[in-house]
Structure 1
């Protein structure tokens, strides 16, 4: 299944519906099967010790799952997170952006379930993984 929006259309859409975080994330790849999003790590994302905070990693997983879902169903601003299971497996590299790689596990009429792996940029081992469920608005 292919994406119904281009990367640029998705970036424009995110800037429109979530202007408060438009400078935090960059969609790097989106083809309807895999979605790759970069957290442009800044001082506001860090915890003491200089690594990316858990809440920032959650935000990356959440936004990436939203983008993966919108890539398949189109613009549905009222889709909402209904469930998340997240494991923080290792400390992110200091000074590195985080890269989220997502794939949809299930896309139904009312729910989407997405698996997200998060990596420090350039690393092979994930720092976190999440399973995100979104509720889709009725047609």
Structure 2
């Protein structure tokens, strides 16, 4: 089938549709096997104690699966999260970029399911795992 976007094109599209947060994320790799994204951690992503907040971690996982769906389908900005499961496994390192490794498990006409592992940059042990389901808008 081939990808609808390359990493640069997908990054530009995310900037277009989510300009308010797009600069928080970097696409390091995008290919048929999946995606690697990073959250560029800033003070606003930290919670008391200096660790990365749960909402920031969730945001990276959500954007990662959204990017995977867009990479396959193209300009479908209205694809939305319909289900999310999130397992926190260990404390991420605050002030260090958070890395997401994502892959699509299923891409159907109406639903897409993706899986994401999150890591503190430089540490091979996952800090969290998420599975997300996206609803795909119907063709008009």
TM-score for the superposition, normalised by structure 2: 0.97
Q: In the alignment, which residue of structure 2 is the partner of 1:9?
A: 9
Is residue 2:30 matched to residue 1:39?
no
CA distance in 2, matches of 1:8, 1:134: 23
3-state SS of 1:56 partner: helix
Q: In the alignment, which residue of structure 2 is the partner of 1:69?
A: 69
**Contact 1:2 1:33 (8 Å CA) reproduced:** no
Deviations 1:2-52 (A, max 9, x none): 322111111110110001102110011111321111000000000001110
Shift of 1:93: 1.2
CA distance in 2, matches of 1:125, 1:102: 15
Shift of 1:91: 0.1
TM-score for the superposition, normalised by structure 1: 0.97
Q: In the alignment, which residue of structure 2 is the partner of 1:82?
A: 82
CA distance in 2, matches of 1:94, 1:28: 20
Q: Structure 1: 5+ residue runs without aligned partners? A: none
3-state SS of 2:56 partner: helix
Aligned ranges 1:1-139 → 2 under 5 Å: 2-139=2-139
CA root-mean-square deviation: 0.8
CA distance in 1, matches of 2:119, 2:25: 14
Larger deviation, residues 100-109 vs 29-38: 29-38
Shift of 1:118: 0.3
- Please identify runs of 4+ aligned residues in structure 1 that moved more than 4 A: none
